Amino acid sequence: MSNLHEKNILKNISQNNRAYYDYFIEDIYEAGIVLTGTEVKSLRSGKISIAESHADEIDGEIFLLNANIPEYMEANRYNHYPKRPRKLLLHANEIRKLIGLIKRKGYTLVPIAIYFNKKNKVKVALGLGRGKKNYDKRETIKEREWQRQKSRME
């Protein structure tokens, strides 16, 4: 999340550390997300899993798919479905640009983090990434281990 405006983050809810391991993240976008009241209450308690989720285009709009926000137990019968598609709020020109990149060039939109901003709105940091091959992943591991050894020597 070093590319994001960290001063704008009030509370980090969830982070997808695996995204940097599986993808070359080239650009990061901040998007709002359409949620129900029980989903927000569940997020306030810090319960969400975005490790296996991604964003995709449906009918000209971008949706967050496969993100698991568990049911809020005190909500009774007004609860939400945990893995429902959730609409992401972006500017129209950003949506057009992202849809073009996803369809033509083989990019993927991966959620990197979900957080509350200073205005207490839930935001999603979307990384525009291209998938890594196995040899790229091995190179990432080598680089990380080298950085760790280098910091130990200092």
Which pLDDT belongs to residue 105? 80
The pLDDT of residue 90? 93
Is the per-residue pLDDT at 34 higher than 80? Answer: yes
Asked if 85 and 53 touch (Cβ cutoff 8 Å), the reply is: no
Q: Which residues of 132-145 are buried (b: 16+ CB within 10 A; e: fewer)?
A: beeeeeeeeeeeee
* Distance separating alpha carbons of residues 143 and 137, to the nearest angstrom: 10
* 5: pLDDT strictly greater than 60: no
Band (63; pLDDT cuts 50, 70, 90): very high
- Residue 118: pLDDT over 80: yes
At 45, the pLDDT band (50, 70, 90 cuts) reads confident
Between the ranges 16-30, 39-53, 83-97, where is the mean pLDDT highest? 83-97
Between the CA atoms of 22, 108, 16 and 13, what dihedral angle is there, to the nearest 10 degrees?
180
Q: What percent of the chain has pLDDT over 90?
A: 21
d(CA 85, CA 67) in angstroms, rounded, equals 8
Q: Which pLDDT tens digit goes with each residue over 69-108?
A: 888 877 777 777 778 898 999 999 999 999 888 888 878 8
Q: Which domains, ranges and CATH numbers included, belong to the chain?
A: 8-153 (2.40.280.10)
